[in-house]
Chain A
Amino acid sequence: MSMPATAHEVTAVHALESVWSRYVFSTDHKVIGLQYLFTGMAMALLGGFMAYVFRMQLAFPDQVVPLYGLVTAREYNALVTNHGSIMIFWVAMPVLIAGFGNFLIPLMIGCDDMVFPRLNRLSYQIFFVSAVIILISLVVPGGGFGGAWTAYPPLSASAQYNHTPWGAPLWLLAVALEFVAFLLGGINFTVTVMNARAPGMTAMRIPIVVWMIVIASLVFMASVGPLVAGAVMLLLDQTVGTRFYDPTAGGDPLLWQHLFWFFGHPEVYVVLLPATGIVAEIITVFARKKLFAYKTILGTSIATGIISFFVWAHHQFVAGIDPRMAHLFTITTLLISIPIAEMLFAFIATLYGGSIELATPMLWALAFIAEFLIGGVTGIFLGANATDIYLHDTYFVVAHFHYTFFPIGIIATFAAVTYWFPKMFGRRMNETLGKLHFWGTIIPFNLIFIPLFLTGAAGQHRRIYSYENFPQLSTPWLNQLAVLATLALIVMFVFQAVFLVNFFWSMRRGEKVGANPWNANTLEWSAPSPPPHGNFAAMPTVYRGPYEYGVPDRELDYWPQHVAS
């Protein structure tokens, strides 16, 4: 328009610009962290819905699933494949590492932003594109990829075998782009923690969660390279007819398995470490205790990260590898129980002599320890090569890894969200709704997966669309266990509405709080709630470690890192 803009119009245009620059194209680490968090939450609802649909098919075979319809075998395969992919790559990783890593690292080490803010934004944008591509892959002709999240070739390499000419390459492209996004993010995290710490923030004063995110980022960066190479080869096999994984042309299907699991197993620890770090922060605050054996926990984290590179072939005990190799991988796999167990012992020891308040974040943190212990001990059955022969690819595996991944991806996330919510939005979440949501999640969770240990031990394989063809494996009581697991899943899903209501209501209407509502020590609580772009009014100086709770002869039972005396 040629007419001069009125003041009102200018303000409106400016406001519009600021919404875009503030919430969509922001370079502020906190906004990017929240973008990852919200994207992850949306994808969790989708991934959870997929679980609901395929569990309904298992419990009530060939019946119409409410809100979905009939589930065909093709759809079932696509649902289980994409449920796994989405929950790990588009929920656990973006929320735990990218979401909380972004939100917490600059605040906790005392700087104004990531060292490379634009790289940070690019990382989210690439991640967002990857999420769009995986969604598109579900609705293209032929449907979504159904070759399991492990995508073993030759099935995944050829549409002749997987019958998803568009779904398989798009799925792979989405995963590859997601890796690129996290590589950029991981570089940023590591460089920021190395270079941008506040004065006085020595290595041994860094909060353990920051350490663990950095170690996880390094593990990710070191493990993902071979898989990206493998993924490029697989994409070429799918699209231009190379035959890296085709034995009839001199390729080898097992090559992919090695490349995939060389990444895939460390990946467990990539998400586990930030989750345990979050739990460590929360238990110290709500037990008013110094973290027991900080240096030992740091050592165990590093040891876990290193050993995680030497365990991958325990996924291949029955894959036709040389049987002698299995002994080596049994030993390394069981070895990793040593640092992890020690870390959990240190967390439990932290509670000793504490003054424990069972606020919602603490409930989640304690539940993490209790539930993860189940995941840990059941892993021994699978790490031991001989029992794995039987249990491999049964529901026992499904139950085991949900007892590790659910505490990691869901329980630790709820712990973190409820704990840092006041910092994110300057308001507190409702405690009653929080506790209702907690029990409405934890009880059904156990009712879903304890039955699956039994169906797995009874021989039921996973990824089977219908058991009607297996008379021995579909006895009435096994079917009843499937029904129990499915009903519990529906109950758990319903209770997530309580969380969503609490979250969005509290964002706008929750009780307003000051900068440090939990009386915590770490630096993020010295910034205003919510912190402005740039975080701190004045850059903090750090005088001591992050866990000085209950220090004798002090009036207060906490002693923030930035307070001089």
Chain B
Amino acid sequence: MLEWLIPAASTSADEIDWLFTLIFWTVGFWFLVAQGILFGFIVKFRRRPGVRSQYIAGESKDEKRWISWPHYVVIACDVVLIAGAIAVWRDVKQVIPTPDETIRVIAQQWAWTFVHPGPDRRLDTPDDVVTVNELHVRNDTTYAFELSSLDVVHSFSIPVFRLKQDAVPGRVITGWFRPTKTGTFDIACAEMCGLGHALMPAVLHIESPEAHAAWLGDRTTVAAATSGSRS
């Protein structure tokens, strides 16, 4: 149901959206029941002249089932949701599939530097392509990323991938994604990183293999995009 609000463009996005929907309906149902009972009681037991309140201590087992049964239902819902959350988290965060390519993401106040492998599909070779605030990926390809920060804590966020990962100085954090839809989308920093925090947008281009190859081949564009930036 998140897709009503924002496109889903990765395999992880589909799984996370599924979990979101599961939680929404589970807690939504019990939320409405609880609110319904609350408002029902408020209406039904309004003060009326001559009608006294009942004396109910709620201490006997018989009375306590009115709260213990809903409580068991909450536990049952929790178990279902925990199972769902663990399953999705495992797929998204723990099991990193063998990547087709690896990209490097470097955050700093206040820009993103992306190192793409060149046509040889390997990093740290002479054909690597470096861009600033612009990430180009191929559709239907499994990417691993290596995320680092040069100064403070940033957070690498791609809403259409449902991907968010803090970049912590002193660490290289790995993750992965597999795009499922071509298009141009936003990348943002999601952790307060100082004065220019709101000025850290980057653009994600998800391209067909052909378009991606054309972009890689067009080195003059790349040179222009990276001129004046870190080398």
> Is B85 on the interface with A (CB-CB < 8 A)?
yes
Please tell me which one of the listed residues A338, A385, A387, A473 contacts residue B74 in the complex, with CB atoms under 8 A apart.
A338
* CB-based contact B191/A393 at 8 Å: yes
Please tell me which one of the listed residues A289, A331, A337 contacts residue B56 in the complex, with CB atoms under 8 A apart.
A289
What is the CB-to-nearest-CB distance from B76 to chain A, in angstroms, rounded to a whole number?
11
| B residues near A384, Cβ cutoff 8 Å | 19, 23, 81-82, 84-85
* CB-based contact A331/B31 at 8 Å: no
- Complex alpha-carbon distance, A342 and B45, angstroms: 21
> Is B193 on the interface with A (CB-CB < 8 A)?
yes
What is the CB-to-nearest-CB distance from B47 to chain A, in angstroms, rounded to a whole number?
5
- Complex alpha-carbon distance, A393 and B188, angstroms: 11
* CB-based contact B2/A457 at 8 Å: yes
* CB-based contact B109/A161 at 8 Å: yes
* CB-based contact A366/B171 at 8 Å: no
* CB-based contact A293/B88 at 8 Å: no
* CB-based contact B168/A254 at 8 Å: yes
> Is B100 on the interface with A (CB-CB < 8 A)?
no
- Complex alpha-carbon distance, A233 and B93, angstroms: 32
Nearest CB to that of A477 among chain B residues?
B5
Max chain A Cβ within 10 angstroms of own Cβ: one of B20, B56, B160: B56
Please tell me which one of the listed residues A153, A357, A389 contacts residue B92 in the complex, with CB atoms under 8 A apart.
A389
Please tell me which one of the listed residues A348, A377, A469, A557 contacts residue B53 in the complex, with CB atoms under 8 A apart.
A557
Please tell me which one of the listed residues A323, A381, A473 contacts residue B188 in the complex, with CB atoms under 8 A apart.
A473
> Is B71 on the interface with A (CB-CB < 8 A)?
yes
A294-324 interface code vs B (CB 8 A; 1 in, 0 out):
1110000000000000000000001110011
What is the CB-to-nearest-CB distance from A375 to chain B, in angstroms, rounded to a whole number?
11
* CB-based contact B56/A292 at 8 Å: yes
| B residues near A476, Cβ cutoff 8 Å | none
* CB-based contact B52/A550 at 8 Å: yes
Once A155-B193, A381-B20, A459-B159 are accepted as A-B contacts, the answer to whether A349 and B78 lie under 8 Å apart by CB is no
What is the CB-to-nearest-CB distance from A113 to chain B, in angstroms, rounded to a whole number?
33
- Complex alpha-carbon distance, A77 and B39, angstroms: 40
- Complex alpha-carbon distance, A135 and B217, angstroms: 57
* CB-based contact B41/A392 at 8 Å: no
> Is A495 on the interface with B (CB-CB < 8 A)?
no
* CB-based contact A355/B165 at 8 Å: no
How many contacting A-B pairs (Cβ < 8 A)? 292
Nearest CB to that of B165 among chain A residues?
A318
Please tell me which one of the listed residues A148, A253, A289 contacts residue B170 in the complex, with CB atoms under 8 A apart.
A253
> Is B34 on the interface with A (CB-CB < 8 A)?
yes
Max chain B Cβ within 10 angstroms of own Cβ: one of A247, A323, A389, A392: A389
Interface residues on B, range: 35 or more
- Complex alpha-carbon distance, A352 and B166, angstroms: 48
B49-80 interface code vs A (CB 8 A; 1 in, 0 out):
00111111111000110111011001100100
| A residues near B2, Cβ cutoff 8 Å | 390, 457
Once A248-B170, A292-B67 are accepted as A-B contacts, the answer to whether A327 and B195 lie under 8 Å apart by CB is no
What is the CB-to-nearest-CB distance from B180 to chain A, in angstroms, rounded to a whole number?
16
| A residues near B92, Cβ cutoff 8 Å | 386, 389
- Complex alpha-carbon distance, A183 and B58, angstroms: 35
| A residues near B48, Cβ cutoff 8 Å | 355
Can you identify 18 A-B contacts, CB atoms within 8 angstroms?
A: A146-B194, A154-B151, A154-B169, A289-B54, A290-B56, A318-B165, A344-B34, A373-B34, A377-B27, A384-B23, A384-B82, A393-B191, A457-B2, A466-B198, A472-B186, A549-B55, A550-B52, A557-B52
Once A320-B171, A384-B84 are accepted as A-B contacts, the answer to whether A370 and B67 lie under 8 Å apart by CB is no
Nearest CB to that of B154 among chain A residues?
A155
A323-351 interface code vs B (CB 8 A; 1 in, 0 out):
11011001100110110011011101111
> Is B224 on the interface with A (CB-CB < 8 A)?
no
* CB-based contact B78/A319 at 8 Å: no
| B residues near A77, Cβ cutoff 8 Å | 192, 194-195, 197
> Is A446 on the interface with B (CB-CB < 8 A)?
no
| B residues near A81, Cβ cutoff 8 Å | 192
Interface residues of B in 141-174 (CB under 8 A from A): 151-153, 155, 157, 159-160, 162-166, 168-171, 173
What is the CB-to-nearest-CB distance from B166 to chain A, in angstroms, rounded to a whole number?
5
* CB-based contact A293/B64 at 8 Å: yes
Nearest CB to that of A291 among chain B residues?
B58
* CB-based contact B5/A247 at 8 Å: no
| A residues near B169, Cβ cutoff 8 Å | 154, 247-248, 253
> Is A356 on the interface with B (CB-CB < 8 A)?
yes
Once A154-B152, A473-B188 are accepted as A-B contacts, the answer to whether A296 and B58 lie under 8 Å apart by CB is yes
What is the CB-to-nearest-CB distance from B30 to chain A, in angstroms, rounded to a whole number?
7
A47-66 interface code vs B (CB 8 A; 1 in, 0 out):
00000000000000000000
Please tell me which one of the listed residues B86, B185, B193, B198 contacts residue A472 in the complex, with CB atoms under 8 A apart.
B185
A118-162 interface code vs B (CB 8 A; 1 in, 0 out):
000000000000000000000000000011101011110000011
> Is A74 on the interface with B (CB-CB < 8 A)?
yes
- Complex alpha-carbon distance, A341 and B92, angstroms: 30
> Is B228 on the interface with A (CB-CB < 8 A)?
no
> Is A454 on the interface with B (CB-CB < 8 A)?
yes
| A residues near B186, Cβ cutoff 8 Å | 459, 470-473
Once A253-B170, A346-B67, A353-B53 are accepted as A-B contacts, the answer to whether A74 and B195 lie under 8 Å apart by CB is yes
Max chain B Cβ within 10 angstroms of own Cβ: one of A73, A345, A381, A459: A459
Please tell me which one of the listed residues A148, A294, A354, A389 contacts residue B45 in the complex, with CB atoms under 8 A apart.
A354
What is the CB-to-nearest-CB distance from B213 to chain A, in angstroms, rounded to a whole number?
25
> Is A369 on the interface with B (CB-CB < 8 A)?
yes
| A residues near B70, Cβ cutoff 8 Å | 341-342, 345
B29-48 interface code vs A (CB 8 A; 1 in, 0 out):
01100110111011001111
Once A155-B153, A252-B170 are accepted as A-B contacts, the answer to whether A549 and B53 lie under 8 Å apart by CB is yes
> Is A552 on the interface with B (CB-CB < 8 A)?
yes
Please tell me which one of the listed residues B15, B38, B39 contacts residue A386 in the complex, with CB atoms under 8 A apart.
B15
> Is A458 on the interface with B (CB-CB < 8 A)?
yes
What is the CB-to-nearest-CB distance from A300 to chain B, in angstroms, rounded to a whole number?
9
- Complex alpha-carbon distance, A315 and B66, angstroms: 34
> Is A512 on the interface with B (CB-CB < 8 A)?
no
Nearest CB to that of B95 among chain A residues?
A323
Nearest CB to that of A249 among chain B residues?
B170
- Complex alpha-carbon distance, A291 and B42, angstroms: 16
* CB-based contact A377/B28 at 8 Å: yes
* CB-based contact B6/A355 at 8 Å: no
A438-474 interface code vs B (CB 8 A; 1 in, 0 out):
0000000000000000100111010111100111110
> Is A433 on the interface with B (CB-CB < 8 A)?
no
